[in-house]
Structure 1
Amino acid sequence: MKNGLSLGDSAVIETTVTEEMFAQFEGVVVHPAYSTVSMVYHMEWAARKLILPYLEEQEEGVGGAVSLKHVGMATLGSNIRIEAVVSELTPGRVLAKVEVRHGNRVIGLGEVKQIILNKQLIQEKLTPHVF
């Protein structure tokens, strides 16, 4: 990774809850509210925004872990703000604390770990080996 990413750096995503973000399984809506699956996606996206400016051309970030508590609801049309803050930096790893808000209410808290790998190594692991 390039130098410059520091503890406390942050990245923000803002979005509006759509029907596609509702809690649903196999296309059947369980309830018309912002789903945990959508929250995970947005948390990972915000954390990814932290590392993008610092990746070398041959590097990529991969998800290492996500933990979250979904503690509040948001309905159709609600404005959501997701903020990721670098909380730990080690060689090849970035940990971010993430907070999801609907207005001034916290509706989600969590952490996202990203592992920085060489793109060639990732490709080798994805390529089936024939013996």
Structure 2
Amino acid sequence: MKFIYNKGDMKTYEIEVNEQNFASFESGIVHKVLSTFSIGKSAEWVCRLFVIDMKENDEEGIGTFLQIKHHSAALEGEKVLFTGFFDKIEGNVIWCNFTAVVGNRLIATGITGQKILKKEKIESIFNKIIPNE
């Protein structure tokens, strides 16, 4: 792992709210706004941008935790800016904070954790849970 970031370093990612990220379940659309689970996906991505730069060729990142506090709705067609803030490294876990905003309106805040492991270690972990045929 490359130790190239300091606390407070930032990455950004922007999405436009559309039907693909509405609050919907098997029963249909609940609200035509950005869903909490879509916030989670974008939050993981903006923080993964640090992982992409930090991992070596024989390493990969894997999510370990995600905390989201949803503050306000983002409506269809609005552009949501996600900003990831590098916080710290504990062992091989990268901690990041994130915000999601539409203009000056705070949509969400939270924390992500992504662990950097050797690719062969990840494969070994997955192989242990695959049932024998």
TM-score tier (shorter): over 0.9
CA distance in 1, matches of 2:79, 2:107: 12
**2:35 matched to which residue of 1?**
35
Q: Once the 2 structures are TM-superposed, how far is the Cα of residue 27 of structure 1 from its aligned partner?
A: 5.8
**1:2 matched to which residue of 2?**
2
For structure 1, the 5+ residue unaligned runs are: none
For 2:93, give the aligned amino acid.
R
Q: Is the 8 A contact 2:22 2:35 kept in 1?
A: yes
**Structure 1 residue runs of 4 or more that deviate by more than 2 Å after TM superposition:** none
- What TM-score do the two structures reach when normalised by structure 2? 0.93
Q: Is the 8 A contact 2:51 2:116 kept in 1?
A: no
Identity of aligned residues (%): 29
Q: Is the 8 A contact 1:9 1:50 kept in 2?
A: no
**1:25 matched to which residue of 2?**
25
SS in 2 for 1:76: coil
Q: Once the 2 structures are TM-superposed, how far is the Cα of residue 90 of structure 1 from its aligned partner?
A: 2.3
SS in 1 for 2:13: strand
CA distance in 2, matches of 1:129, 1:84: 37
Q: Does the C-alpha gap of structure 1 residues 107 and 123 become closer, same or farther in structure 2, counting only changes over 3 Å?
A: same
CA distance in 2, matches of 1:80, 1:129: 41
Q: Once the 2 structures are TM-superposed, how far is the Cα of residue 20 of structure 1 from its aligned partner?
A: 0.9
Q: Is the 8 A contact 1:16 1:79 kept in 2?
A: yes
**2:118 matched to which residue of 1?**
118
1:85-124 mapped onto 2 (5 Å cutoff): 85-124=85-124
Figure out how many residues of one structure are paired with residues of the other and give that number.
131
For 2:97, give the aligned amino acid.
K
CA distance in 1, matches of 2:115, 2:10: 18
- What TM-score do the two structures reach when normalised by structure 1? 0.94
Q: Is the 8 A contact 1:81 1:100 kept in 2?
A: yes
CA distance in 2, matches of 1:18, 1:129: 38
For 1:4, give the aligned amino acid.
I
